[in-house]
Amino acid sequence: MSDALPSPLLALKGIGKSFLGVRVLDGVDLDVVPGEVHAVVGENGAGKSTLMKIVSGGYAPDAGTIEFAGAPRRFSGPRDAQRAGIGIVHQEFNLLPERTVAENVYLGHEPVRRGLVDRRAMRERTAELLASIQESSLPPGSRVGRLGVARQQIVEIVKALALDARLLIMDEPTAALADNEVERLYVLVRRLQQRGIGVLYVSHRLKEVFDLADRITVLKDGRLVTTVPAADTDPDRLVRHMVGRDLSSYYPDRAAPDDPGPVRLTVHNGGNRKLRDIDLRVRAGEVLGIGGLQGSGRSALARALFGAAPFTTGEVTLDGAPVRLRSPRAAMRAGIAYVTEDRKGEGIVAGASVLDNALLAGRAVLPTWRGRAARTARVRELLAAVDVRAATEDQEIRFLSGGNQQKVVLARWLALGPGILLFDEPTRGIDVGAKSAIHDLVRRLARDGAAVLMISSDLPELLGMSDRIIVLRDGRIAGELPAGATEEDVLTLALGTVPAAA
């Protein structure tokens, strides 16, 4: 396929970039032809983000050339690249919740008539764009903050289209989406493709990559490993390219049937504003997977158990004794830990050091003065045990990769010796290597006697890790699946129907 394609839309040749003398990208070649979905994969730190920033005008390359639409280009900034026709859909949405859809879509290039912003034109054109991707149900005048995540992403894409983007960069576009929403995204991407728009698709999720991409480029340590047509490769080979390891080594062994110990946690008839009639039991040593769509109550369940948005009805018992989990502190005292979904917003204190982040929960819940040294020593051991890689423990955590940040968060909780661990999307946005390390850790914790609840939108992960799976729908438990269930089983329960097309 690639040989036969004429006149690429985007052609990068020998791109190099260094930060303070460290080579982050080195001699990368890449091209995208109109109507092609070109996926870029690689571990975190492989240079994907830097490459995308160079294409979208965020950074200027130190070496190499960028050709766009047949002409050599040097972008002076994001604005310049946008003008040229390169749009970018960010992993974290770049939208203003207080402003309307139209205002967001045309931010930076509002249509002007007689010196004033032509609001009507803005709304009309937004409506047209929405219609062009068959999303006309979205009103251009509504505040973005009121829209769901999936619709916000549509706004992001429309925002790029509004600039007549001929090349669209999508950086982890599914990170915030539930599975049915991912389906809609697929449809959207294919429509863009049909319109001749080239798509650079960055993702950790190999399933998506294979579902969508025409060609796949693998980066490793800032260098190009290979560019292959998607049809000529498979996930196993791709992962080997990325990390030199087999896909099959992804998930650690499940618990043996008689491994799980006594029941550690039960919920009877639990409910609050987002949950109803929750009944569940988790045993020590078991990993209970929680499936369901975004907004089905998965995170609400974790937050209820953690006391952040407590159950208002029902009973919870811990090791047979009833408990009231009114606040995170109460939950923590009861031995519950919660690794949140939104790592940047709720998981880490970006400006604090690795050590301070790891010590946070212990300091908050079990303040001590005399025991400080011992506690710090224990946390240091834990940081080493979970294999956090940082320059020093005093390094600010924001400089670490997502995987390392997640390990620090884990160390924070392990320092409390929790008997119950709630994981909400523990491997989201984390590179393949760190991902399996975290999987190993989760399993090891269960083996050491912890009860684990794990929420994941990544179905292979959910299926691969869980000893049992509970699927939520509309705030209720839709059903329970044993180990060895299939993706279809989960989806059937999650959607409440036969899945559309997976």
Partner 1 sequence: MQLAERNRLRVRFRPGGLAPILVIFVVLLVLLGTRQPDFLSPPSLMSFLGRSAPLILLAAGQYFVIVAGEFDLSVGSLVTAQVVVAARLIDSDPSRTWPVILLLLAFGAAVGLVNGLITTRLRVSSFITTLGMYLILVGAVYLWSDGAPKGGLSEEFRRFGRRAFEDVFLVGRIPYALLILLAVAALAVLLTRSDFGRTLVAAGGNPRTAELSGVRVRHAKTLAFVLSGLAAAVAAILIGGYSGVSFQAGAGLEFGAITAVVLGGVALGGGRGSVVGAMLGALTLETLFTLMNFYGVSGALRSTVQGAIILLAVAVSAMRSVPAKGIQ
Partner 2 sequence: MSTALTLPARRAAPGVFIALALTLAVGWLVVTIDGGQLFSQPTTVSLLHVAAGLGLVAVGQTVVIIGGSLDLSVAYVVSLSTLVAAEAMAGSNAGLLPGVGLALGVSAAIGFLNGMLVTKARINAFIATVGVGLLLKGYLDNGYDGPAGRTAPVLVQSLGYQRIGPVPVSFLLLLAVAAAIWVVLTRTRFGHHLIAVGGDPQVARLSGVRNDRVLIAAHVLCSLCAGLAGIYLASRLGSGAPRVGTEGLYDLESIAAVVLGGTALAGGSGGVAGTVGGVLLLASIDAILNQLEVDAFVKQVIRGVIIIAAVAVYARRALRKAGS
Question: Does the protein bind partner 1 through residue 20 (CB under 8 A)?
Answer: yes
State the Cα–Cα distance between residues 497 and 502, nearest whole angstrom: 13
Taking the complex as a whole, the smallest distance from the CB of residue 56 to partner 2 amounts, in Å, to 9
Total residues binding partner 1 (CB under 8 A): 45
Single residue of 174, 299, 401, 406 touching partner 1 by CB under 8 A: 401
Rule CB under 8 A: is residue 389 a binding residue for partner 1? yes
Among 368, 384, 496, 502, binds partner 1 (CB under 8 A): 368
196 lies in the binding site for partner 1 (CB under 8 A) = no
What is the C-alpha to C-alpha distance for residues 427 and 341, in angstroms, rounded to an integer? 9
Among 34, 45, 140, 198, binds partner 1 (CB under 8 A): 45
Reduce the DSSP state of residue 169 to 3 states and report it.
strand
**Residues 365/416, Cβ–Cβ less than 8 Å:** yes
- Of 45, 20, 44, 47, nearest to 30 (Cα)? 47
List phi, psi (to 5°) of 60. Answer: -95, 135
**Using only C-alpha atoms, what is the Rg of the chain?**
24
384 binds partner 1 (CB under 8 A): no
User: What are the phi and psi torsion angles at 269 (to 5°)?
Assistant: 60, 30
Q: How far is the CB of 391 from partner 1 (least distance, A)?
A: 4
Please state the length of the chain.
502
* Helix or strand (DSSP H, E) at 488: helix 487-495
Q: Which residues contact 125 (CB under 8 A, 6 or more apart)?
A: 102, 106, 111, 162
Site for partner 1 in 302-321 (CB under 8 A): 306, 308
**Contact residues: partner 2, CB under 8 A:** 77-79, 82-83, 88, 90, 94-99, 103, 106-110, 112, 115-117, 119, 159
Joined together, the tokens standing for residue 64 give: 């190499």
Give the nearer residue to partner 2 in terms of CB position, either 327 or 368: 327
Cite the beta strand spans of 262-333 per DSSP E: 263-271, 278-283, 287-292, 313-318, 321-323
- 78 contacts which partner out of partner 1, partner 2, none, CB within 5 to 8 A by kind? partner 2
44 scored as a contact of partner 1 (CB under 8 A): yes
Query: Should residue 423 be labelled a site residue for partner 1 when binding is judged by CB under 8 A?
Result: no
CA distance 364 to 335: 14
Task: Find the part of the chain contacting partner 1 (CB under 8 A) among 309-317, 358-366, 471-479, 486-494.
Answer: 358-366
Q: Smallest gap, in angstroms, from Cβ of residue 342 to partner 2?
A: 14
Q: Helix 179-194 crosses helix 149-161 at what angle (to 10 degrees)?
A: 10
Q: 118: how many CB neighbours lie within 10 A of its CB?
A: 15
Contact between 383 and partner 1 by CB under 8 A: the answer reads no
Answer yes or no whether residue 350 interacts with partner 1 by CB under 8 A: yes
Instruction: Pick what 249 binds: partner 1, partner 2, none; C-beta below 5 to 8 Å, kind-dependent.
Output: none
Contact between 361 and 413 (Cβ < 8 Å): yes
Nearest distance in Å: CB 33, partner 1: 30
| Residue 349 contact, options partner 2, partner 1, none, Cβ 5-8 Å cut-off depending on partner type | partner 1
Compute the half-sphere exposure of residue 72: CA atoms within 13 Å on the CB side of its CA. Answer: 3
Contacts to partner 1 from residues 230-259, by CB under 8 A:
none
| For partner 2, the closer CB: 14 or 78 | 78
Q: Which residues bind partner 1 (CB under 8 A)?
A: 19-22, 24, 43-46, 221, 306, 308, 328-329, 332, 338, 340, 345-352, 356-357, 359-361, 363-365, 367-369, 372, 389, 391, 395-396, 399-401, 412
